[in-house]
Structure 1
């Protein structure tokens, strides 16, 4: 059989359905031959991708591509749950992301256990849907509450914080969605997670750290607090601050030092950032704070590493001796440190 040129397969969406290949003039024999030669990878029944293209995708890129194929393969469905979050560009767990989650809109279709799609049945008003890149996806509040119901708290909170930060949801909208889903499986998890949402958090690690700290029984810290010396000079903005303890928490992802948010990712620049962080930490501790630092590995095993770093900082902290000014928004007036702190809303 004459070999089908690779460009023919690349002209199709990646991945593509067998029906899409047939509509483009290909045949089942050509599909089988391309799979046998290794040009194509058969991802699932009637689902294919160009091998070299598919192998280069990250888990999130692959899942997003599968989302398109899933919606194209079925009638009257919308992307939902984690798949909606991934498609909307919200944070997600590392590694493989599992089946594409869909919610049936006006049918009773379900998926088989070995299907690459997961089709769920649930009420879906039009107001819970939005269009993104030409596909129907659950809007921000619905996506967040669905994720709270089905994911671990650390992952769901990262999705929720990012959605709030991007203006895709609000506390009022989340509470309304939780009320709409009263009695649904997992809704109590959403009820516990919604009060933790804060759109000021800037990374998965920050959000996941707050979730793990909450599960450890710690009070909810303030996020992204600007700390100033008593004379008003800016010392820095900290990831989280436990006012009750005088403990600053810094969630140290590698991007902070390797330049993901900087134009210069060189080793020299990374070293300079480390020195700046060290000097900043010394200035914070000079004001009376104790600084706890942790990374993603410290969240494993129930957060034992996080607990160790925070408890060590608590032993060093002297909140009653702190002298500084602070605010959470640069538009707000500076406030003097008061201890014990007033109850925060």
Structure 2
């Protein structure tokens, strides 16, 4: 096996990333590495880290995260938005910045070499750092705790809902968060966000729609409301429901509802619910950007019509 073949094999197990140390161990010289990078055959991801394929594939984001952590040496770990991404927790817009922390007892790099790399020095307790796909990262609980301190209400509650829905944190875990927040900047607002978390929300769009309804004085009676016929057969499940009004609101995200098969299934389900006497409202992300629109629409649908 040639050095380049060996390096490709190593990179394949690391999201398409290889370090200078690994390339040297495979048999390349520093001059050869430099030539491969400057000629465009390799892409430099971070200091001492490369993608040996020129252009990165679909795992580019995780490759860059892995490279950023590796470039800061032993003890570095992903935090904040980047940790959310590694854990698969939704709720924030994806940021081009990679957030990495170095231990507090190590010198903080003044020039990490990448303008999109944000270096922190966060104090961690024992057990606050785990490994995901070989990358050191804060635990889901520590991650959401750190994030909700820095976010406004809607994204913060969306993050909490996503972590709960995915089973990455539990209600018992969240009961410990006030202690973790004590004395930290933003703790008062973050404790309020905890009280609004609901793991039944299956997307940030559902969370935002629910919060708009709550703010507008028409909170849903149920989330993931099951509607069954007289024989107990399931007719459909509504994202937000008002059982007494026989009203359901659906949060239609572009991803899960955009495929033709999903659209057809949604229409069949809606027909079953309408025939059973339920009314269906549908809301999109753009609707949640207008504070009054969703609650007004729900209130109109609940009002008796002549």
Q: Normalising TM by the smaller chain, what interval? A: 0.7 to 0.9
**Is the counterpart of residue 276 in structure 1 residue 274 in structure 2?**
no
Separation in structure 2 between the aligned mates of residue 211 and residue 7 of structure 1, nearest angstrom: 53
Aligned to 1:121: 121
Distance 1:208 1:109, change over 3 A: farther
Q: Does 1:313 align with 2:302?
A: no
Q: Report the RMSD for the aligned CA atoms in angstroms.
A: 3.3
Q: CA deviation at 1:279?
A: 0.7
Tell whether the 8 Å contact from 1:157 to 1:196 is kept in structure 2 after alignment: yes
**Counterpart for residue 295 of structure 1:** 284
2:223 is matched with which residue? 223
Query: How many Å apart are 1:252 and its aligned residue?
Result: 1.0
Contact conserved, 2:43 with 2:55, CA < 8 A, in 1? Answer: no
SS state at 2:51 partner = strand
Paired residue for 2:45?
Answer: 43
CA distance in 1 between partners of 2:177 and 2:262 (Å): 43
Matched position secondary structure for 1:11:
helix
The corresponding residue for 1:87 is 86
**SS of corresponding position for 2:43:** strand
Equivalent in the alignment of 2:29: 27
Unpaired runs of 5+ in structure 2?
none
Aligned counterparts of 1:112 and 1:240: Cα–Cα separation in 2? 49
Question: What's the offset of the Cα at 1:247?
Answer: 4.5
CA apart distance, 1:314: 1.4
Closer/same/farther in 2, CA of residues 116 and 276 from structure 1, 3 Å limit: same
**1:110-168 CA deviation, whole Å, 9 max, x = no partner?**
34475543332333111323333334322222111112122454444333223212332
Note if contact 1:110-1:118 (Cα within 8 Å) is conserved in structure 2: no
CA distance in 1 between partners of 2:47 and 2:131 (Å): 28
Counterparts of 1:11-160 in structure 2, within 5 Å, are: 11-13=9-11, 14-54=16-56, 56-57=57-58, 61-73=59-71, 74-91=73-90, 93-95=92-94, 97-112=95-110, 115-160=115-160
CA distance, structure 2, for counterparts of residue 75 and residue 154 of structure 1: 35
Query: Could you say which residue in structure 2 is the equivalent of 1:250?
Result: 250
Partner SS, residue 44 of structure 2: strand
Within 2, Cα distance between the matches of 1:50 and 1:212?
A: 47
Cα deviation digits, residues 300-336 of structure 1 (max 9, x gap): xxx21x74244123112148xxxxxxxxxxxxxxxxx
User: 1:297 deviation in Å?
Assistant: 3.0
C-alpha distance in 2, partners of 1:51/1:70? 18
Inter-partner Cα distance in structure 2 for 1:225 and 1:275: 17
* Distance in structure 1 (CA, Å) of the matches to 2:209 and 2:53: 37
Is contact 1:10-1:50 (8 Å) kept?
Answer: yes
Question: How many angstroms apart in 1 are the aligned matches of 2:83 and 2:281?
Answer: 34
Indicate the SS of the match to 2:184: coil
Aligned residue pairs, count: 295
SS at 2:195 equivalent: helix
Q: Is the 8 A contact 1:64 1:83 kept in 2?
A: no
Q: Distance in 1 between matches of 2:240 and 2:22?
A: 50
Asked if structure 1 preserves the Cα contact closer than 8 Å seen for 2:6 and 2:26, the reply is: no
After superposition, give the CA deviation of every residue in 1:218-263 in whole Å (9 maximum; x if it has no partner).
565332111345775544211012569765220012444455xxxx
TM-score (norm 1): 0.71
Task: Give me the TM-score of the superposition, normalised by structure 2.
Answer: 0.79
Separation of aligned partners in 2, 1:136 and 1:43: 18
SS class of match (1:150)? coil
Aligned to 1:341: none
Aligned to 2:193: 193
